[in-house]
Amino acid sequence: MREVKSNSVYKHFKGDLMKVVGVAKDSETLNNLVVYEHNGELWVRDYEMFLSKVDKDKYPNAHQEYRFEEVQDKDIIIKNNMKIEGLSKYATPYEKGIRLKEEKEDFRPSFYRDIDRILYTLSYSRYLDKTQVFTHKENDHLSKRMTHVQYVSKIARTIGRALNLNEDLIEAAALGHDLGHTPFGHVGEAILNEISLNNNEGYFNHNIQSVRILMDIENYGNGANISVPVLDAIMCHNGEFALGEYHPEEKSVSTFLEEYHKSYEDKEILKTLKPMTLEGCVVRISDLIAYLGRDIEDGIRLGIINKSDIPTNITNILGSSNKEIINTIIKDVIYNSLDKNYIKLSDNIYKAIVELKKFNYENIYSKAYNNEELTQIKEMFNKLFNKYVDDLENNREDSTIVSNYLKYMSDNYKKSSYKRIAIDYLAGMTDEYIIKQYTKVFKNS
């Protein structure tokens, strides 16, 4: 006798998979109802209908005898089990994890596979020695790019779980959002942007470079083939622009690519980019949450500011420690965004965030480097850029950009201009490596 098994995967005769949650009773008729999950939503169906046979007169091409048949294929069961169930209707389903290059998926869902691919990139390992705000200070407790990325991931997944969003998409985007950051953080980014513009290579922005890394640089110039929703969330993550509300914007693959390419030409586009998913909105606001309080703690550790310097109109609302600031904002986001198709902050929290960002810029970020350090960093970037372009043009095999970098890249990547290749190489360096290269090339010559 056939019966419905709870927690088992069934296949509908039209091909869809669904997982049975259990059996419930109709309170009026007392008839049994099968409760099952499909595409992130819960459905019910009459127990007897669930067990009934396919009407072959109506569906002569059906390959199953019964409307629902239990799946015995372990790969299919495992693949279904890997998916997060009970997602909000506003969450991004795994089926939307399309890629720019078609490929056969394994049992890992699309966004889960993206997490693995990003974790194993060479760029991810270089987070360890890339600046967040402060460089080469004698304090091991200062944030690095690696710790910042982990904070963003945890904060974003907390918000995502509370809102029943797709945590796999969130984690992939959070872990990959700063892959394109240069050595020396935003200072290095500004210098490389100036170099790029002066050499007709367009604007340089770390979020766009993060996408370029995953599409065109990683895997020796073949790219990592990350899904478009993850790439889009990375492209649109910029936490520099605080908003009271974050609305996703429906877009196609071609629209994503158009925005990506346009960002090299249009300075203003970064201010208007919106993620295509609600998960992308969560990553964007989480980037902001992750650095606000933590940068204050670093500033206090280095004696740049005192906790008492933070205006009371900010601390009275957000708190004065990193823990308090994070907790306050996360809870505000969750309470104001629950069951909404956008992410929202309450007005007083948003205003306090804007004031805190302003305080941090005036009292912390502007003091992260002195004029002498800025001059030295700018000299390093410019001299190395010119040297590397010259080395590429003359195919100098004793140069690291030729022998250690370009030599192993794909033929397609080698079609890039020498100036773009030099920019990619510099952007990918860690703080320590760029100093070593500069010392090797110029100080010992």
In tens, the pLDDT along 149-196 reads 898 999 999 999 999 999 999 999 999 998 998 998 888 999 999 999
Q: Domain of 14?
A: 9-81
Distance (Å, whole) CA 45 – CA 218: 47
Q: How many domains does the chain have?
A: 2
Whether 199 maps to a domain, the answer reads yes
pLDDT digit string, tens, across residues 187-232: 899 999 999 999 999 999 999 999 999 999 999 999 999 999 999 9
Residue 227 β-bridge partners: 99
CATH of the domain at 175: 1.10.3210.10
Please indicate, yes or no, if residue 378 is contained in any of the structural domains.
Answer: no
Residues 229 and 290 reside in one and the same domain: yes
> Where does a domain end: 56, 81, 106?
81
Give the pTM: 0.84
Residue 176 and residue 37 share a domain: no
- Phi and psi at 133, nearest 5°, equal -125, -50
What torsion, rounded to 10 degrees, do the Cα atoms 278, 281, 283, 287 define?
-170
Q: Are 281 and 342 in contact (CB under 8 A)?
A: yes
Q: Hey, what are 373's tokens?
A: 């350090």
Q: Is residue 415 part of a domain?
A: no
What sign for the dihedral angle of Cα 205, 206, 208, 209? positive
| Distance from the first to the final alpha carbon of the chain | 85
Q: 327 and 250 share a domain?
A: yes
Q: Is 148 contained in some domain?
A: yes
The reply to whether 145 and 63 lie within a common domain is no
Amino acid found at 365:
Y
Q: Are residues 72 and 183 in the same domain?
A: no
d(CA 16, CA 52): 17
The predicted-structure confidence for 224-273, as pLDDT tens digits, reads as follows: 999 999 999 999 987 567 889 999 999 999 999 999 999 999 988 888 89
Q: How many residues does the chain have?
A: 445
140 and 271 co-located in one domain: yes
CA distance 159 to 174: 12
DSSP bridge partners of 41: 38
CATH code of the domain containing 69: 2.30.30.320
Q: Torsion over CA of 408, 414, 419 and 421, rounded to 10 degrees?
A: -30
The burial of 222, by beta-carbon neighbours within 10 Å (0-12 exposed, 13-18 middle, 19 or more buried), is given as middle
| Three-point CA angle 122, 98, 237, nearest 5° | 60
pLDDT per residue of the chain (445 residues) written in tens, 0 to 9: 688 888 888 888 888 888 888 999 988 888 899 999 887 788 899 999 888 999 888 888 888 888 998 888 777 778 777 788 788 999 999 989 999 998 887 888 899 999 999 999 999 988 877 765 546 556 555 566 778 889 899 999 999 999 999 999 999 999 999 899 899 888 899 999 999 999 999 999 999 999 999 999 999 999 999 999 999 999 998 756 788 999 999 999 999 999 999 999 998 888 889 999 999 999 999 988 887 767 777 767 766 767 777 889 988 999 888 889 889 999 999 999 999 999 999 999 999 999 988 887 777 766 666 778 888 889 999 999 999 999 999 999 999 999 999 999 999 999 999 999 999 999 999 888 998 999 998 875 5
Of 339, 367, 395, the residue at which a domain comes to its end is 367
> Among candidates 121, 148, 151, which has minimal Cα distance to 226?
121
Whether 129 and 220 map to the same domain: the answer is yes
401 belongs to a structural domain: no
Q: Which of 332, 367, 402 is the last residue of a domain?
A: 367
Q: Do residues 302 and 198 share a domain?
A: yes
Do 77 and 98 belong together in one domain? no
Classify the C-alpha dihedral 318-311-284-178 as positive or negative: negative
Decide if 42 is inside a domain: yes
Which residue, 228, 233, 214, is CA-closest to 274?
A: 233
Distance, in Å, from the CA atom of 242 to the CA atom of 354, rounded to the nearest integer, reads 7
Answer whether 189's CB lies under 8 Å from 181's CB.
Answer: yes
Write out the two tokens for 180.
């394109």
| Whether residue 62 sits in one domain with residue 207 | no
Mark whether 299 and 165 lie in a shared domain.
yes
314 and 239 assigned to the same domain: yes
Provide CB contacts within 8 A for 174, sequence distance 6+: 149, 152, 153, 156, 157, 283, 286
Q: How far apart are CA 248 and CA 276, in angstroms?
A: 5
